[in-house]
Amino acid sequence: MRLYEYEAKRVFARYGLPVLPGVVIDSQGYQQLDKVTYPVVIKGQAFVGGRGKSGLVQFANSRDEAQEKIASVLGKCHGGHAIERVLVEPRVNIERELYLSVIVDRLQHRFLLMTSRRGGVDIEEVASSEPEELLKYHLNIGADMHAFMARKTASGLGLSGPLLNAGTAVILGLYRLFVGYDCKVAEINPLAVTDDGRLLVLDAKVDLDEDAMFRHPVLKDMGITARHEVGELTDREKVAKKAGIPYVDLDGDIGVFPGGAGFGIAAIDLIQHYGGKPANFMDSGGAPTQEKLRAMLGLLLDNPRVKAIFGARFGGISRCDDWAKAVVQYVVENKPLKPMVMRMAGNMEEQGRKIIEQAKNEHPELFRKIKVYAYDMPIEEVIKETIRAAKAEK
Amino acid sequence: MRLYEYEAKRVFARYGLPVLPGVVIDSQGYQQLDKVTYPVVIKGQAFVGGRGKSGLVQFANSRDEAQEKIASVLGKCHGGHAIERVLVEPRVNIERELYLSVIVDRLQHRFLLMTSRRGGVDIEEVASSEPEELLKYHLNIGADMHAFMARKTASGLGLSGPLLNAGTAVILGLYRLFVGYDCKVAEINPLAVTDDGRLLVLDAKVDLDEDAMFRHPVLKDMGITARHEVGELTDREKVAKKAGIPYVDLDGDIGVFPGGAGFGIAAIDLIQHYGGKPANFMDSGGAPTQEKLRAMLGLLLDNPRVKAIFGARFGGISRCDDWAKAVVQYVVENKPLKPMVMRMAGNMEEQGRKIIEQAKNEHPELFRKIKVYAYDMPIEEVIKETIRAAKAEK
Amino acid sequence: MAIIVDKNTATIVQGVTGTNAALHTKFMLKYGTKIVGGVTPGKGGQHVEDVPVYDTVRDCIDENPEATVTSIWVPPRFAKDAILEAIDTGMKSIVVITERIPIHDMLYARQAAKERGVMIIGGNTPGVISPGKALIGMLPKIAFQSGRIGTVARSGAVTYYIANSLNLAGLGESTSVGLGGDPILGTNFEDVLRLFEKDSETDAVVMAGEIGGVYEELAAPYIGEMSKPVVAYITGKAAPQGKRLGHAGAIVEGNMGTAASKIKALKDNGALIAETLSEIPVLLKEALGSVIG
Amino acid sequence: MAIIVDKNTATIVQGVTGTNAALHTKFMLKYGTKIVGGVTPGKGGQHVEDVPVYDTVRDCIDENPEATVTSIWVPPRFAKDAILEAIDTGMKSIVVITERIPIHDMLYARQAAKERGVMIIGGNTPGVISPGKALIGMLPKIAFQSGRIGTVARSGAVTYYIANSLNLAGLGESTSVGLGGDPILGTNFEDVLRLFEKDSETDAVVMAGEIGGVYEELAAPYIGEMSKPVVAYITGKAAPQGKRLGHAGAIVEGNMGTAASKIKALKDNGALIAETLSEIPVLLKEALGSVIG
């Protein structure tokens, strides 16, 4: 879960890291501009990089100029997102730019501190073009970072004199923040050395572990709560997000109702493999309520592009009878006429089958294009039949 | 540095440990008695144990009774201290009393968690008479105490059901407090199980490391600052304490001005060994200012019991010339006529000797009974001469 | 000998009094798994399906010293402590059903386990089954038949469909292991492949990976060393690409994580690549030739 | 070979730019101690008495890899870090002059040193001197003459007076070690006795303890094993007894800590007990007989 720059800097300030005194301005008004010293930098708040090239970073020498430039940034679209806020900070004169980050190294299963004298640029490029300029220090989980370790690192960045101790404090603070708030990534790029001998965090990135938010009520107090990841959402994706359903629109004609995310990914592969085109990715696994199951079916069947539905349920933690009930209720209430080819196996399979059979008897017309296979039907045959059904609908 | 019970409980509350909602009352008035629920326990606040036997713990069923009993406790003298405050807490019905502490084990150089089902009594007695009832768990320095360890310990105390989890939380909290505030001792005795199934900290002891107070500003905010240890002070000890001079009155007639504490202890032994009687213990080591050195001499020479002064300076970190200057200035200004037998050696010895010689020439009368020996005079000869001088003064 | 759990493996259930854990304790017992005790702090003395509940793992082990495998069903915030407790009491394998364990917690527990030579499966694993012998977790028994193929997968449902596909082709499993869906896992493909390589009841292995993460690539070199055939099934070839977000983690993980990079690494090391579920038994039969009756 | 420091020992000074450290760096150099560098973070590039100052111990060691002993003069709040830095860079002995180091900090540093087999002397030690060879710390050189008696004491001034007493009797020291006055010490009597026992330039040892703590009692059994005579001088026999405060620490330390308990333990293990400073050389001469010229 990524934070906006202004949020990350508020978190940084709590750990004593040297951020500039900035103000955040949104469409509500410009009063806050009275609080800053000019000249200023205006930075549109977005998750996606390349803000400079997109004109999201502007400079202003006066309040009037700032107001004008902010107006031009607010409402711009960047990486599929409208810019809703800008961060306004005093402009500083930069002498050198450094790079600092702490991340979870998923290869070594340890924490990793990375530093570079080449700050202010894309660090992945530095890593590939000048790997010797990117220094890496691994830390065991739970290990203390002592000041001397941070100092050695700061010294390696070419900091000396008073800047050595300032740099040591920044590295210690960044690591403590990383550990203290369960971060996946805590990054400063650039950490600037100014011409008046200060060390300043100019840009800050924080990626939090959503699954650890419960133990950081202070973040909630700061208005930082779980949120959807980056990317422009389609209308259907927005509906799905509101309902708490992991869902991504694709451009095919087969609605996919696959159970868990793992088989959802496999199902998309298999549909393509056999010449079909999936209309979506979805995670309908775990043990969703019947209401949620029906909302999932609705997402698929209300999509005009969808010609047929592929459905699968392998009852492990979830129950087939619950799933069958939800399908039946949705069909009876919404009377969809699109073909649905499905397979149901596992926990409470027998009970589920009875529910389907009974519904078929009661509503033969509604269930004419609906088939629910059992354990003995290979899932790929179900997929192939769905593809045939979709083609027949054209 | 020991805390009063009411201070320790405020610290405990910060770590979520279950203390009772009490009020602290001193001679300023009884208004706070409106805030408590009766019946109550009234506990005179003192460092020295045995409060019950001395009548410092009283019970009251009403506000009037409480006021009367508090008046009787305030101003009592216990272990050489006037009782200045009482802690008033609701009275609870106790079913069982347990013991819990975390201490620095100076033998193993590790932290030590001790628990016992025999709470509410002198734990040293339990340790010697029923050692199997005192359980000990060592922890490496810097090691985390995990909940499961605390739970195992709580289970070992016979706690089960909801009390198991409450006990686990108390043990974890006590350990975190111990580590978090640099404690030498953090103790709960008793930890009470009440008849309504609660776990409560009835008495709390905390002994802090004075040398770590600098990193606990929150304690200062709570009014907890470095303080003199327990014991009744004589008037001279109070003067010394104010001046920051480690000083203890003894009942002899030789003033001891020994340099550091280590040799101060040795000097007392040697004076006794050779038949003299020291009038004091003092630490005049390190590198005290001249002002402080003169204050030290004043403490000794103003004492009517003192017949002669034994002085020694071995200049290591400190300088003999500074010491000599202070002695000379004190003598010139205060004109003491008591004999002073001293020895000066080490750092800047030559310069110091010149200062003494010059003063002797300028004020022969004032320095008639003052001798300052050098490196080649064994210190024990100096002591013997002081003892003879003291006897001659009688 | 199957791997991890066998007919005689004595196991315990941590968090046994939770709704889900209690339900699956019933299923596990029905399947024949030997569950000697359960643990829920503060509920010691109760019973779940005749299984005695203890306050601590220590209490449980004191009365049932034969237990060597535990499964963890506690809420995510207690998972780290439950795993550490299991390690402390000498458990050899810890099957972590709990999902969405904080990443730093799992890293901590994983490190502690490695230091003590303890195996953690999961978090967020559907479990481990040695068909016809024992089941730990919540895998649906209907999917699995006893046989001589070892399977290991990241996704629970993919595990079921693979088993289904094998069974429909007349094959069965020695043991089937779910690695788990959490971002940090205690055990990766290579760890399980090493166990299958040594297992006398396993003739060949199916590993099912998916887009994201690096565990498939990391396992590839070991496949080159194995004597037994490995069929790999990697999903996510057609998955929508998320927008590329420059992030520091990519520096470490480089170009790993796509279906293509995984398939290439596995193929280069001699794994047989199955494009579909139904290809899996075909490739296995080819590789094993006449070994299979 | 003296113990801990010798003529050729290369040493560094951590916190070298402090007033006190700079002064004693001058004295140490004058005495002949080989100081190859000093460390003060943020003051790298400066010089103290021609000794180059570095930002980190690592920088200093990179240029002076022969250094094996360091002394620590930093303010107490930085002492733990300075010690850990010295350990990390491979120092063999760390002489901690800093006093009043927080107890938990010193325990942490001590544990780290023990794990790495590093010797910490102090905190709050006046230092170590091998007379005529090298001095680390702030012991006054006038007190010490070269000879074949090893001395070890808790109090700095007592160390000086013992040396004084030996010298006036015509004896001198191989090495004199101040254990330090802080409540937690890196090195105790036994550690130093073991070094003296092995030291070919030491014929006998004087240990000076005092009331409080347990290090004297803990050393007693080893004295029984030593081949060299040990004269013990324990002060505090006449010290005023503090009021007895019931405290949990007493459970661990039991009845140790009085002058009487220390003297008894030492005497029972064969140490010769000196009642006064002037008795020390007398006992030494008796014990060594004709060995001393």
Phi, psi of D90 (to 5 degrees): 90, 15
- Given the residues C24, C47, C104, C247, the one annotated as active site: C247
CB-CB contact of D204 with D33 (8 Å): no
CB contact under 8 A, C41 and B162: no
Residue A220 and residue C147: Cα distance in Å, rounded?
Answer: 52
Assign C249 a pLDDT band (cuts: 50, 70, 90).
low
State yes or no: chains A and D have 3 or more CB pairs below 8 A. yes
CB contact under 8 A, C248 and A123: yes
CATH architecture of A21-90: 2-Layer Sandwich (3.30)
Residue B177 and residue A311: Cα distance in Å, rounded?
Answer: 56
Residue A177 and residue A212: Cα distance in Å, rounded?
Answer: 14
CB contact under 8 A, D76 and B211: yes
Tokens, residue A367: 């269930």
Q: What number does CATH give the domain B94-221?
A: 3.30.470.20
Exposure b/e, A25-54, CB count within 10 A at least 16 = b: beeeeeeebeebeeebbbbbbbbbbebeeb
Tell me which residue in D105, D142, D158 faces B263 most closely, judged by beta carbons.
D158
Helix/strand/coil for B27: coil
> What is the DSSP secondary structure assignment for residue C241, as one 8-state letter?
P
Assign B46 a pLDDT band (cuts: 50, 70, 90).
confident
If you search the block for the tokens 């009688």, which residue do you land on? B394
Number of Cβ atoms within 10 Å of the Cβ of B15: 18
Active site residue D247: yes
Tell me which residue in C126, C164, C235 faces A379 most closely, judged by beta carbons.
C164
pLDDT above 90 for B353: yes
Q: Looking at CA atoms only, how far is residue A152 from chain D in angstroms?
A: 7
Any chain D CB within 8 A of the CB of A27? no
Question: How many secondary structure helices (H) and strands (E) does chain B include?
Answer: 12, 18
Assign C121 a pLDDT band (cuts: 50, 70, 90).
very high
How many residues are given for chain D? 293
Find, in chain D, the residue whose alpha carbon is nearest to that of A155: D55
Residue D247 and residue A37: Cα distance in Å, rounded?
Answer: 59
CB contact under 8 A, D57 and A161: no
Any chain D CB within 8 A of the CB of B16? no
Mutate to test the interface with B, among C60, C63, C81 (most CBs of B within 10 A): C81
Tell me which residue in B148, B149, B164 faces C42 most closely, judged by beta carbons.
B164
Mind listing the pLDDT tens digit for each residue in C169-193? 999 999 999 999 898 999 999 999 9
CB contact under 8 A, C56 and B152: yes
Mind listing the pLDDT tens digit for each residue in D225-242? 999 999 999 998 887 655
Higher pLDDT, C245 or C184: C184
Higher pLDDT, A228 or A224: A224
CB contact under 8 A, C107 and A141: yes
CB contact under 8 A, C56 and B147: no
CB contact under 8 A, C245 and A47: yes
Amino acid, single-letter form, for residue A101? S
If you search the block for the tokens 């010059």, which residue do you land on? B358
Q: Looking at CA atoms only, how far is residue D254 from chain B in angstroms?
A: 9
If you search the block for the tokens 């001499």, which residue do you land on? B297
pLDDT above 90 for C245: no
CB-CB contact of B167 with B159 (8 Å): yes
Any chain B CB within 8 A of the CB of C58? yes
Residues of A with CB below 8 A from D85's CB? 146, 148, 151
Higher pLDDT, B388 or B127: B388
Domain range summary for chain B, segments of one domain joined by +: 21-90, 94-221, 233-393
Residue D15 CB burial class (10 angstroms; 0-12, 13-18, ≥19): buried
pLDDT at residue number C241? 59
Tell me which residue in A124, A259, A317 faces C251 most closely, judged by beta carbons.
A124
In this prediction, residues B72-95 reach a mean pLDDT of 88
Q: What number does CATH give the domain D140-288?
A: 3.40.50.261
Tell me which residue in C140, C250, C276 faces A124 most closely, judged by beta carbons.
C250
Any chain B CB within 8 A of the CB of C104? no
Higher pLDDT, A293 or A286: A293
What does the H/E/C string look like for chain D? Answer: CCCCCCCCCEEEEECCCCHHHHHHHHHHHHHCCEEEEEECCCCCCCEECCEEEECCHHHHHHHCCCEEEEEECCCHHHHHHHHHHHHHCCCCEEEECCCCCCHHHHHHHHHHHHHCCCEEEECCCCEEEECCCEEEECCCHHHCCEEEEEEEECCHHHHHHHHHHHHHCCCCEEEEEECCCCCCCCCCHHHHHHHHHHCCCCCEEEEEEECCCCHHHHHHHHHHHCCCCEEEEEECCCCCCCCCCCCCHHHHHCCCCCHHHHHHHHHHCCCEECCCCCHHHHHHHHHHHHHCC
At a CB cut-off of 8 Å and minimum separation 6, what does D94 contact?
A: D69, D70, D71, D72, D83, D86, D87, D113, D118, D119, D120, D121, D186
Any chain A CB within 8 A of the CB of D105? no
Residue B166 and residue B200: Cα distance in Å, rounded?
Answer: 10
CB contact under 8 A, D81 and A160: no
Higher pLDDT, D255 or A349: A349
Q: What number does CATH give the domain C10-121?
A: 3.40.50.720
- CA distance between the termini of chain A: 42
In this prediction, residues A278-287 reach a mean pLDDT of 87
Residue C133 and residue B291: Cα distance in Å, rounded?
Answer: 87
Assign C250 a pLDDT band (cuts: 50, 70, 90).
low
Assign D181 a pLDDT band (cuts: 50, 70, 90).
confident
Q: Which of D191, D38, D67 is nearest to D125 (CA)?
A: D191
Residue B5 and residue A392: Cα distance in Å, rounded?
Answer: 84
Mind listing the pLDDT tens digit for each residue in D86-115? 999 999 999 999 999 999 999 999 999 999
Assign C254 a pLDDT band (cuts: 50, 70, 90).
low
Phi, psi of D157 (to 5 degrees): -65, -35
Domain range summary for chain D, segments of one domain joined by +: 10-121, 140-288
Assign C246 a pLDDT band (cuts: 50, 70, 90).
very low
CB contact under 8 A, B148 and C45: no
In this prediction, residues A212-241 reach a mean pLDDT of 81
Number of cross-chain residue pairs from A and C with Cβ atoms under 8 Å apart: 184
Assign C31 a pLDDT band (cuts: 50, 70, 90).
very high
A residues 237-256 closer than 8 Å to C (CB): 248, 250
Distance of CA C228 to the CA centre of its chain: 20
Residues of A with CB below 8 A from D45's CB? 160
Q: Looking at CA atoms only, how far is residue C13 from chain B in angstroms?
A: 16
Mind listing the pLDDT tens digit for each residue in A265-278? 999 999 999 999 99
State yes or no: chains C and D have 3 or more CB pairs below 8 A. no
Find, in chain B, the residue whose alpha carbon is nearest to that of C83: B148
pLDDT above 50 for C244: no
At a CB cut-off of 8 Å and minimum separation 6, what does A34 contact?
A: A63
Q: What number does CATH give the domain A233-393?
A: 3.40.50.261
pLDDT above 80 for A106: yes
pLDDT at residue number A347? 81
Residues of B with CB below 8 A from D25's CB? none
Find, in chain D, the residue whose alpha carbon is nearest to that of B270: D276
pLDDT at residue number A25? 94
Amino acid, single-letter form, for residue D145? Q
Mutate to test the interface with B, among C14, C53, C85 (most CBs of B within 10 A): C85
Residues of A with CB below 8 A from C126's CB? 316-317
CB contact under 8 A, C82 and B161: no
pLDDT at residue number B108? 92
Residues of D with CB below 8 A from A165's CB? 41-42
Sign of CA dihedral B34, B35, B36, B38: positive
Assign B171 a pLDDT band (cuts: 50, 70, 90).
very high
Bridge partners of A44, per DSSP, are: A86
Tokens, residue A260: 């868990």
Residue B372 and residue B377: Cα distance in Å, rounded?
Answer: 10
Any chain D CB within 8 A of the CB of A168? yes
In this prediction, residues D160-186 reach a mean pLDDT of 94
Residue A263 and residue C160: Cα distance in Å, rounded?
Answer: 10
The share of chain B scoring above pLDDT 70, in percent, equals: 97
Residue A120 and residue A102: Cα distance in Å, rounded?
Answer: 16
- Given the residues D24, D47, D104, D247, the one annotated as active site: D247
Assign C122 a pLDDT band (cuts: 50, 70, 90).
very high
Residue C43 and residue C21: Cα distance in Å, rounded?
Answer: 14
B residues 345-364 closer than 8 Å to D (CB): 345-347, 349
Find, in chain C, the residue whose alpha carbon is nearest to that of B165: C42
CB-CB contact of D62 with D90 (8 Å): no
CB-CB contact of C269 with C226 (8 Å): no
Exposure b/e, B212-240, CB count within 10 A at least 16 = b: bbeebeebeeeebeeeeeeeebeebbebb
Higher pLDDT, A119 or A394: A119
pLDDT at residue number C290? 53
Phi, psi of B45 (to 5 degrees): -90, 115
Find, in chain A, the residue whose alpha carbon is nearest to that of D78: A147
Bridge partners of A105, per DSSP, are: A110
pLDDT at residue number D243? 38
pLDDT above 80 for C42: yes
For the annotated catalytic residues of A, the residue numbers are: 99, 187
Tell me which residue in D214, D239, D243 faces B268 most closely, judged by beta carbons.
D239
CB-CB contact of C222 with C24 (8 Å): no
Asked, colleague to colleague, whether D10-121 and D140-288 share their fold, the answer is yes
Mind listing the pLDDT tens digit for each residue in D111-157? 999 999 999 999 999 999 999 999 999 998 888 999 999 999 998 88
pLDDT above 50 for C293: no
Q: What is the mean pLDDT of chain C?
A: 92
CB-CB contact of C80 with C108 (8 Å): yes
Mutate to test the interface with C, among A106, A183, A273 (most CBs of C within 10 A): A106
pLDDT at residue number C162? 95
Find, in chain C, the residue whose alpha carbon is nearest to that of A212: C102
Mind listing the pLDDT tens digit for each residue in B285-302? 877 888 999 999 999 999
Assign A143 a pLDDT band (cuts: 50, 70, 90).
very high
Lowest mean pLDDT across B85-99, B308-322, D200-214: B308-322
Number of Cβ atoms within 10 Å of the Cβ of C7: 13
Tokens, residue B49: 């144990």
Helix/strand/coil for A106: coil
Residue B394 and residue B125: Cα distance in Å, rounded?
Answer: 48
Q: What is the mean pLDDT of chain D?
A: 92
Mind listing the pLDDT tens digit for each residue in A70-102? 999 998 887 777 888 999 999 999 999 999 999
Q: What is the pTM of this model?
A: 0.91
Residues of C with CB below 8 A from B168's CB? 41
If you search the block for the tokens 């017309």, which residue do you land on? A365
In this prediction, residues C208-226 reach a mean pLDDT of 93
- CA distance between the termini of chain B: 41
Mind listing the pLDDT tens digit for each residue in A295-344? 999 999 999 999 999 999 987 767 899 999 999 999 999 999 899 999 99
Q: What is the mean pLDDT of chain B?
A: 92
CB contact under 8 A, B378 and D278: yes
Task: Name subunits touching A (3+ CB pairs < 8 A).
Answer: C, D
In this prediction, residues C74-102 reach a mean pLDDT of 97
At a CB cut-off of 8 Å and minimum separation 6, what does C206 contact?
A: C149, C150, C151, C152, C153, C162, C166, C230, C231, C232, C233, C274, C280, C284
CB contact under 8 A, C81 and B146: yes
Residue A216 and residue A223: Cα distance in Å, rounded?
Answer: 12
Tell me which residue in C138, C156, C238 faces A272 most closely, judged by beta carbons.
C238
In this prediction, residues B124-138 reach a mean pLDDT of 91
pLDDT at residue number C252? 65
